[in-house]
Chains A and B, each alone.
Chain A
Amino acid sequence: MDAQVLDRILDKYAYRHSDIIEIMQDVQRIENYLPMESLSYISERLELNLARIYDIATFYKAFSLKPRGKHVIKVCCGTACHLSGASQSLDQITRQLGIEEGETTEDRMFSLETVNCLGACALAPVVVIGAEYHDSADANKIDKLLSGYKVNGESTD
């Protein structure tokens, strides 16, 4: 990530140490993950121990230190979604894409993740792909759902 972009983010938060989580969130929003070089740069500019930044990056589940795919699939595993068959949906995605939770497909098209609750529990089970929410996404619907992205997302194998 560009030093210029990083400086702009740091400026926005006036180099405050207490806003380090926000700073990292802004970086991840742009890059989809936290590149190690960016973290080192932030550590230097803020004069904040890299160990503390790394601690935060690994403590909070929203952060990823690995690059993620073009489409990040988030399967909600909150209580309402779990009871409505979220784990079967997750299994079906795993079978379809050949990756486990936390992994990215070789062509870098899809990453598969789980989240705890998206606050759309009345529509359970919920699967989010990119920024798009899909309701009632039980195992039944997964194939159709994914094929939409494979065709639109130029990744046909």
Chain B
Amino acid sequence: MKKIRTHSDFERIKQEYLKKSSGRTIVLRTCLSTGCRSQKSVAVSEALWSSIEKKGLQDKIEIKQTGCHGFCEMGPIMVVEPQNIFYKKVTPDDTDEIIEMAANGGGVIDRLLWKDPVTKETVKCERELPLYKNQKKNVTYKSGRIDPKDIRDYIAAGGYEALIKVISTMTPDEVIDEIIASGLRGRGGGGFPTGVKWKICSESPGDIKYIIANGDEGDPGAFMDRSLMEGDPHSIIEGMIIGAYAIGAVQGFIYVRDEYPIAIDHLSGAITDAEEYGFLGNNILDSGFSLSLKIKRGAGAFVCGEETALIISIEGRSGMPRSRPPYPAVEGLWGKPTVINNVETFGNVPLIISRGREWYADTGTKNSKGTKVFSLVGKVRNTGLVEVEMGTTLREIVFDIGGGIRRDRSFKAVQTGGPSGGCIPMSRIDMPVDYDSLREAGAIMGSGGIIVMDETSCMVDVARYFVGFLMGESCGKCVPCREGLQQMYRILENISEGNGEEGDIDALLEVGQFMKTTSLCGLGGTASNPVLSTLRHFKSEYESHIFEKKCTAGVCKNLFDYYIDDKLCTGCSLCRIKCPEKAIEGKKKEPHVLDKAKCIKCSICFNSCKYGAILIT
């Protein structure tokens, strides 16, 4: 019988599991999440099993198939414990050697170690990697360490202790007070105090209440929620059960975007297991409190991440937002009081309960407590998932953790907050990353995407990109958003095609301000942020597009040309062979020439030249 009723049941299951796995002292943690899986980590995992079997080491070595470790770019990745050796880009051919080394307890395979692209030094241990060593992993600590498909592994790592504490020693109001006192704010973008939201819902009249986790992760270019759902689904579920207990909900939903099949798989398995162990379902832990959880899959509509639209989508209709108030905490799913929080917000809850409000409030800044998970991508050397204390500076994130800009190019900006956010220039690189500082700089925290741009990123193109994205995603219900986006897009398109005119910048500012104050939902209300923030910090780039008809970043096709620098060109002929338009000519070992008239600016030569001889004018 697996169903847990008492604390001693829980301890027994935990001890049994720990005892069972204690014999195998060597543990290989391999990642089977989206990033590594797309680089064939499943084959690596299978090869590891057969290597172990071949050598008869089943009792000595354990393979733990984990979720995301955060360094997806280096996948398939693997960590050998207890030495904490980090291997990158592992292939099935490497596995015999890995197993042999691990079994002998000594030696490392140099070619599989991560090498610093600047100093060329290799790093042996996972905890010493620059990407990891400056992080503070609280919420993502277990992802990459536990098997997300085995509830016992989560329990052995301290999981579900917070739930037991809540159910056996706290009243719902005490839970709410604890969350309020911790200072936790929503991680889905708005930053609303979570405990306050719960209190409003708990005080709203009604017998039926709902709890919803928002795993829609619409920000294109962000994947922290995916990693958490794949790598540590039980922490989200535990947070939801605690929330449901606090507000008195009997049913809950996890809304996950359909583009995340592994997250859906792991969450479904986790719900089934939690039911089996008595953490979900009727009469949870013999307390009289009941909760059922269900997964709802999204269907590719960005606006459905907005809470009222998401609720309507769960009800089985087209997800168009409605005006607030009433807020969902008062009138939500099927008209009943509903708490909706981001999945990472729920992931923080068990930590706060287990370790206490003081512990939690001790990290972060005055108004932004705890840590935040970011997905650091774009033109940085180390891309991946990073969790840092609130208040860490952008410089630390981009240069210490991210290792600076790729190919020794120069830093131009970071974009935070996705389509609702803004760009921050070099002059503000030392600002602390918290809710208030980002807002003051014209960006927002958003859900946690940090996109780094270098000299080859065009800020007009970035603004056009986001406006185009939102134009496609606007539900069309209200005029300012629907029409405003079209107008802004038309102007930006003209500018990037070389048809910009005097007055365009003023028109953008006017439309942008108007949309901010008159749109119905947050999509339209924040849609002009990418435009307004790039205008604020990079106005000269707009001006050179409009007046000089130049895109110095080499992005807007009508506004630049490629040419070959005859001093840098070695005549290797790679570009000549690759050019689909045969626009490049030249003899081997002699400088080549590019015919501008034939060039379609497909970028193939620019990106393949090893000598940096293709330049932009």
Which of B120-128, B213-221, B391-399 is found at the contact surface with chain A? B213-221
Q: Are B451 and A80 in contact (CB under 8 A)?
A: yes
A76-96 interface code vs B (CB 8 A; 1 in, 0 out): 011111111100100110010
Q: Are A117 and B220 in contact (CB under 8 A)?
A: yes
Q: Are B38 and A117 in contact (CB under 8 A)?
A: no
Partner of A139, one of B72, B377, B451, B604: B604
Which of A37-45, A51-59, A65-73 is found at the contact surface with chain B? A51-59
B262's nearest neighbour on chain A, judged by CB, is: A119
Q: Are A79 and B415 in contact (CB under 8 A)?
A: yes
Q: Are A122 and B72 in contact (CB under 8 A)?
A: yes
Residue A18 is within 8 A (CB to CB) of chain B in the complex: yes
Q: Are A21 and B299 in contact (CB under 8 A)?
A: yes
Q: Are A62 and B258 in contact (CB under 8 A)?
A: yes
Residue A140 is within 8 A (CB to CB) of chain B in the complex: yes
Residue A99 is within 8 A (CB to CB) of chain B in the complex: no
Q: Are B602 and A25 in contact (CB under 8 A)?
A: no
Partner of A116, one of B39, B226, B318, B469: B469
Inter-chain CA distance A122–B34, complex, in Å, is: 11
Which of B277-285, B308-316, B343-351 is found at the contact surface with chain A? B308-316
Residue B383 is within 8 A (CB to CB) of chain A in the complex: yes
Partner of B297, one of A22, A92, A119: A22
In the complex, chain A residues whose CB is within 8 Å of the CB of B316: 16-21, 56
Partner of A85, one of B217, B377, B607: B607
In the complex, chain B residues whose CB is within 8 Å of the CB of A50: none
Q: Are B383 and A95 in contact (CB under 8 A)?
A: no
Residue A123 is within 8 A (CB to CB) of chain B in the complex: yes
Residue A121 is within 8 A (CB to CB) of chain B in the complex: yes
Known: A22-B296, A88-B602. A83 touches B453 (CB 8 A): yes
Q: Are A116 and B220 in contact (CB under 8 A)?
A: yes
B229's nearest neighbour on chain A, judged by CB, is: A119
Q: Are A135 and B607 in contact (CB under 8 A)?
A: no
Residue B319 is within 8 A (CB to CB) of chain A in the complex: yes
Inter-chain CA distance A56–B315, complex, in Å, is: 12
Tell me how far the C-beta of A101 lies from the nearest C-beta in chain B, rounded to whole angstroms. 12
Inter-chain CA distance A65–B72, complex, in Å, is: 35
Known: A21-B297, A78-B221. A120 touches B418 (CB 8 A): no
Residue B465 is within 8 A (CB to CB) of chain A in the complex: yes
Residue A33 is within 8 A (CB to CB) of chain B in the complex: no
> Taking each of A63, A77, A122, which has the highest tally of chain B beta carbons within 10 Å of its own beta carbon?
A122
Inter-chain CA distance A140–B574, complex, in Å, is: 11
Q: Are A25 and B39 in contact (CB under 8 A)?
A: no
In the complex, chain B residues whose CB is within 8 Å of the CB of A83: 378-379, 451, 453, 457, 462
Residue A124 is within 8 A (CB to CB) of chain B in the complex: yes
Inter-chain CA distance A16–B217, complex, in Å, is: 26
In the complex, chain A residues whose CB is within 8 Å of the CB of B314: 18
A interface, how many residues as a size bin? 35 or more
Residue B25 is within 8 A (CB to CB) of chain A in the complex: no
Residue B512 is within 8 A (CB to CB) of chain A in the complex: no
Residue B58 is within 8 A (CB to CB) of chain A in the complex: no
In the complex, chain A residues whose CB is within 8 Å of the CB of B451: 79-80, 83
Inter-chain CA distance A62–B314, complex, in Å, is: 16
> Taking each of B37, B219, B453, which has the highest tally of chain A beta carbons within 10 Å of its own beta carbon?
B219
Partner of A120, one of B34, B299, B449, B604: B34
In the complex, chain B residues whose CB is within 8 Å of the CB of A124: 377
Tell me how far the C-beta of B90 lies from the nearest C-beta in chain A, rounded to whole angstroms. 15
Tell me how far the C-beta of A24 lies from the nearest C-beta in chain B, rounded to whole angstroms. 8
In the complex, chain A residues whose CB is within 8 Å of the CB of B219: 79, 117
Q: Are B72 and A59 in contact (CB under 8 A)?
A: no
Q: Which residues 18-32 of A sit at the B interface, judged by CB distance below 8 A?
A: 18-22, 24-25
In the complex, chain A residues whose CB is within 8 Å of the CB of B217: 117, 119
Partner of A140, one of B259, B302, B469, B608: B608
Tell me how far the C-beta of A47 lies from the nearest C-beta in chain B, rounded to whole angstroms. 14
Inter-chain CA distance A92–B608, complex, in Å, is: 15
In the complex, chain A residues whose CB is within 8 Å of the CB of B299: 21, 24-25, 56, 60-63
In the complex, chain A residues whose CB is within 8 Å of the CB of B259: 115-119
Inter-chain CA distance A120–B222, complex, in Å, is: 8
Partner of B313, one of A21, A61, A116, A134: A21
Residue B114 is within 8 A (CB to CB) of chain A in the complex: no
In the complex, chain A residues whose CB is within 8 Å of the CB of B540: none
Residue B300 is within 8 A (CB to CB) of chain A in the complex: yes
Q: Which residues 449-488 of B sit at the A interface, judged by CB distance below 8 A?
A: 449, 451, 453, 457, 462, 465-466, 469, 475
Inter-chain CA distance A48–B130, complex, in Å, is: 56
Residue B35 is within 8 A (CB to CB) of chain A in the complex: yes
Tell me how far the C-beta of A61 lies from the nearest C-beta in chain B, rounded to whole angstroms. 4
Q: Are A139 and B602 in contact (CB under 8 A)?
A: yes
Inter-chain CA distance A129–B67, complex, in Å, is: 23
Q: Which residues 181-236 of B sit at the A interface, judged by CB distance below 8 A?
A: 217-223, 226-227
Tell me how far the C-beta of A15 lies from the nearest C-beta in chain B, rounded to whole angstroms. 12
Q: Are A56 and B72 in contact (CB under 8 A)?
A: no
A56's nearest neighbour on chain B, judged by CB, is: B318
Q: Are A140 and B578 in contact (CB under 8 A)?
A: yes
Q: Are B418 and A79 in contact (CB under 8 A)?
A: yes
Tell me how far the C-beta of A117 lies from the nearest C-beta in chain B, rounded to whole angstroms. 4
Partner of B300, one of A60, A81, A121, A139: A60
Q: Are A140 and B375 in contact (CB under 8 A)?
A: no
> Taking each of A17, A21, A79, A91, which has the highest tally of chain B beta carbons within 10 Å of its own beta carbon?
A79
Tell me how far the C-beta of A6 lies from the nearest C-beta in chain B, rounded to whole angstroms. 17
Q: Are A55 and B318 in contact (CB under 8 A)?
A: yes
Tell me how far the C-beta of B575 lies from the nearest C-beta in chain A, rounded to whole angstroms. 11
In the complex, chain B residues whose CB is within 8 Å of the CB of A79: 219-221, 377, 415, 418, 449, 451, 465-466
Tell me how far the C-beta of B303 lies from the nearest C-beta in chain A, rounded to whole angstroms. 9
B418's nearest neighbour on chain A, judged by CB, is: A79
Q: Which residues 18-76 of B sit at the A interface, judged by CB distance below 8 A?
A: 34-35, 37-39, 71-73, 75
> Taking each of B72, B462, B603, B608, which has the highest tally of chain A beta carbons within 10 Å of its own beta carbon?
B603
Q: Which residues 579-612 of B sit at the A interface, judged by CB distance below 8 A?
A: 580, 602-604, 607-608
Q: Are B221 and A117 in contact (CB under 8 A)?
A: yes
What would 5 A/B residue contacts be, using CB atoms closer than 8 Å?
Answer: A59-B475, A62-B258, A62-B300, A80-B220, A121-B375
Residues of A participating in the B interface, judged by any CB pair closer than 8 Å: 16-22, 24-25, 52, 55-56, 59-63, 77-85, 88, 91-92, 95, 115-124, 126, 132-135, 138-140
**9 additional contacts (CB under 8 A) given A22-B296, A122-B73, A140-B604:** A16-B316, A24-B299, A61-B299, A77-B220, A83-B378, A119-B223, A122-B384, A139-B607, A140-B607
Give 9 nearest A-B pairs by CB, closest first.
Answer: A79-B221, A133-B38, A78-B220, A60-B299, A62-B300, A61-B300, A59-B318, A117-B220, A119-B226
